[in-house]
A = this chain, B = another copy of it.
């Protein structure tokens, strides 16, 4: 009997991070894929990742609604609680041999706690990284609950082992999102089609011109500043005048500040060279990114995918602090003038050689192989 591998996807970016592994698990003769889609991945406001997943040909086994509305710290905690409670029933129903949880979003805790308490072996993808903020607490707590660690880089592996995990359970696979980032159809995007199909709001740009991509998320532990921060970026983008495709933030406590900041700014200002998307299918997004002069904001895409692709990045603020980074990244503060200057230097379009920090493009199959052969066990003990 094949091992049942249950992957829980709670957000659009988590899907992108795991997609190549999903393909590899499904294709592996000794594995059977079970797919749970939950939280913001089910919500239209965050791009209905569930629809993308189905369009990609995956069967969704269960859907778990768990986002308690309010976008504040109370409702984040409540969402995880209710998600955890329901995930228990779903796991009992699906009886997986291994559960996979991805990275460090607050909802991963629901997956991790439910599977740990139900004595289902838990594999954690992307542990051992450093970022600060509540994500870091979540990520390392999941490490302590997980039975297998599928980490992106050598440095991450070292940290996981130092935290007391036994070496035989720590695997450097590279990050599956890099698989995706390196394996897409590099044909240029037809921008007229892009706007036609994927909608969004704002100007319909002429993207034969040099353009940039912007992604800015709220920083969870600095709730009150989210709005002020995004306004600084908006002012800078307005000022430098380079055509920009801006991607809407994910759900998160604090998203309110960022999202509302953007909405309010749009009401007050004319932004003739900015187009806003909720999100795009992963491959389309990569083609758009690949065609751009660079990425601006505080997304991990700048640090990870763009490192692999050699795309220059202007990383603003401390959201990515502590993440290992390549030569493609320039770090600056939320300072309008500094942002304007850094963004202007992205033109004309150029590329920076990758150092392969987050993977070599084969993480997915590597993960599937590991899952097929690791001994199944939930017994663990501090290694020291």
Contacts and interface: CB of A to CB of B under 8 A. Distances in A.
Contacts of A380: 136-137
Interface stretch (A8-16, A106-114, A284-292): A106-114
Contacts of A117: 73, 76-77, 80, 106, 134, 253
Contacts of A134: 116-117, 119, 378
Contacts of A58: none
Contact of A69 (B69, B110, B113, B144): B69
A67 B64 contact: no
Contact of A88 (B78, B118, B144, B379): B78
Interface string A56-68: 0000001111111
A203 interface: no
Contacts of A132: 379, 381
A87 interface: yes
A106 B116 CA distance: 10
A70 B65 contact: yes
A-side interface mostly: helix
Interface string A308-344: 0000000000000010000000000000000000000
Contacts of A69: 43, 45, 65, 67-69
Interface residues of A, number: 71
B162 A384 contact: yes
B87 A84 contact: no
Interface in A91-146: 91-93, 106, 109-110, 113-114, 116-119, 130, 132, 134, 136-138, 140-145
B86 A118 contact: no
A85 interface: yes
A82 to B, nearest CB: 5
Contacts of A27: none
A114 to B, nearest CB: 5
A267 interface: yes
A117 B201 CA distance: 33
Interface in A191-207: 201
B89 A64 contact: yes
A42 B70 contact: yes
A75 interface: yes
A83 interface: yes
B73 A65 contact: no
Contacts of A81: 80-88, 110, 113-114
A78 B85 contact: yes
Nearest to A118: B73
A55 to B, nearest CB: 20
Contacts of A256: 44
A78 B91 CA distance: 12
Contacts of A62: 93
A77 B73 contact: no
A176 to B, nearest CB: 23
A140 B164 contact: yes
Interface in A337-372: none
Contact of A221 (B76, B114, B130, B378): B378
A374 interface: no
A3 interface: no
Nearest to A90: B89
Contacts of A113: 77, 80-81, 109, 113
Interface of A: 42-45, 62-70, 73-78, 80-89, 91-93, 106, 109-110, 113-114, 116-119, 130, 132, 134, 136-138, 140-145, 159, 162-164, 201, 221, 223, 253, 256, 260, 267, 322, 378-382, 384
Q: Which 5 A-B pairs have the closest CB atoms?
A: A81-B85, A81-B84, A77-B88, A140-B144, A77-B117
